[in-house]
Amino acid sequence: MSASVEQGQADDHVVLGKLTSPYGVKGWLKVYSYTSPMEGILEYGDWVLRHHGRLERHRLAQGRLHGKGLVARLEGVEDRSQAEALAGAEVLLPKAELPELEGEDDYYWYQLEGLRVVTRDGVVLGRIDYLFETGANDVMVVKGRGEDAVDDRERLLPFLPGEVVQDVDLEAGEMTVDWDPDF
């Protein structure tokens, strides 16, 4: 079952993953998950899919680990051709449905993306473009561009609260870091 969702509501969602391709002939799809752990995406029963500029709500019928990835079947998607029509869709979740974070220094990545990054000495390094996992710690990709950034370099900063990350002010849209701009 799918239902239309207003396009203007897209900013009220976070991307959890992507439907990559059909799996088999009974409507299953391979799922690339951005959640940690990856099967966390299967804990949400209602998915909003963004595909070809449209948002549609779908109910997760089944989902499971398969090899090194995930596969899922959505209600109303019964065959391979219906699954093919959804391949490439992003899986979204309303931000209001995200679990509350436990610690004061815990953030969802979407909250950090776009923050202006400033050193303790007031040097603007740029904005957080995206984050990724390395195993040891998360890494922020900070791109210096426009505004009052010291240069146009791309920097990789470890997300280490209390060490590199000194303060995060979501309301001001700024993060203070202990980082040498020449590094």
- pLDDT 10s per residue in the chain (183 long)? 444 444 444 578 999 999 999 999 999 999 999 988 899 999 999 999 999 999 999 999 999 999 999 999 999 999 999 999 999 999 999 898 888 888 887 898 889 999 999 999 999 999 999 998 888 889 999 999 877 899 999 999 999 999 999 999 999 999 999 999 998
Query: Which residues lie below 8 Å from residue 63, measured CB to CB, with a gap of 6+?
Result: 31, 39, 41, 42, 70, 71, 72, 73
Record the tokens describing residue 119, joined without a space: 């050193």
> How far, in Å, are 83, 143, 157 from residue 151 at the CA level?
46, 9, 16
Instruction: Please name each of the domains of the chain with its CATH number.
Output: 2-96 (2.40.30.60), 109-177 (2.30.30.240)
What pLDDT, on the 0 to 100 scale, is given for residue 178?
Answer: 97
Judge whether 38 and 31 are in contact, CB under 8 Å.
Answer: no
Q: How far apart are CA 131 and CA 101, in angstroms?
A: 18
What pLDDT, on the 0 to 100 scale, is given for residue 5?
Answer: 43
What pLDDT, on the 0 to 100 scale, is given for residue 1?
Answer: 43
103 burial type by CB count under 10 A (0-12 exposed, 13-18 middle, 19+ buried): exposed
What pLDDT, on the 0 to 100 scale, is given for residue 6?
Answer: 43
Its pTM surpasses 0.75:
no
Record the tokens describing residue 176, joined without a space: 């203070």
